[in-house]
Structure 1
Amino acid sequence: MSEDRKKQFELEVEKDEELRKVKEFSLNGWPICKGKMDKELKKYWMIRNEITVYDGVLFYNDRFIVPKRLRQEMLKLMHEPHMGIEKTKKRGRKIMYWHGMSLDIERWVTNCLVCQKYATSKPKEPLLVHDYPELPWEKIGVDIMEWKGRSRYYGMERR
C-alpha cells in the first residue's frame, strides 16, 4: 500500500463512525458481551480477535478493512480486468475486507456494462437420445475426461 493510500485509509477510518469504534475496541478491548454493543458493530463480534490496528489502518488478519467511503473505489479497482464475479471476489478477498463485500462485488459485476456486452452466453447442449439395446452388453457407453492434463477414455462402444 502506498503512503498516500495509507493516509487516505487512516483519514477515512477516523471519519467512518463504525470503523472508528471498531478501532477503539481493538486498541482498548472489546465489551464482554455482544449484547452491550451497538447494532452496527455486532457484525464484527465474530472476527474481533482477528482485527488489528497498524499505523491507523484496520486489518482483518492480513487484509485491510475498507472504510465505507472507499468501497466504490476499491470495487472499481478489483473489477478493472473484468474477470467476472468469482474471480473478482477471489482477487478482493486476498487483500481487503468489509462486511457484505461479496454481495457488493456481485452487484458491481452484474451492473458492469462492459461485462454485460462481452458476456459469453453458453448455449445449452441438446439432449442426445439413444436407442435402447436389444441385448445386454450390445452397447457400452464411453466417459471422456481429462486428468493431469491428459485425456483419458474409459469404456468403449461396440455394435
Structure 2
Amino acid sequence: PPLFERFPTSKELANANVKDIENCIRSIGLYHNKARNIHALATVLEEKYGGRIPMKKEELMKLPGVGNKTAGVFLLEMGKEPYFPVDTHIKRISTRLGYAKKEMEPLEIEKRLEKIFPKEEWAYLHHAFIYFGRDICKAIHPLCEKCKLGKYCVYLKKHSSTTDR
C-alpha cells in the first residue's frame, strides 16, 4: 500500500485525515480499524515519544493497536529482541505438529515454543513456520503429499484415512 509514500513520517500520519489513511490501505483487511489505529499510534508517537518508536516490548504494547504479536514481530524484524510471536500459521503448525493444543491462546503457544526451541533459532523458525503454513500446511486442503514432516504430524495421522487432507 502507498501509505508511507504519502505519509513518510509519524508527524504527517498524526496530522492526516483518517479517511486519507484508509484510502492508502484499502487493499488490506480491516482497513477502517487499522487506519484509526495507525492515526492514533502516530499521534501518541509524536506527543509522547517525539516521533521516535520505542524499542521495548512493554512500551510498544502501550501504543494504540499494538499487542503482543505486533510488538514481538516489530522487535524481531528490527533485530532488537528474539521473540517467537504466534500468528494463525504458527498456531496451526504448532497444533498439527503437537507442540500446542488447539484451544491454547497465542501467548501460551509462544511461551511453549520459546521453551522448546533455542533462542537463536526463534527468528528463523518464526519465518519458516509462516512460509510453511502459507505454502504447504494450509488451513484448508493442506498439501500433505508434499510435506516432509508427515511422520511428526498429528493432523495427518488423524486424517490419513480420508481422501481430503
TM-score, L = length of structure 1? 0.31
- Greater helix share, structure number: 2
TM-score, L = length of structure 2? 0.30
Larger radius of gyration: 1
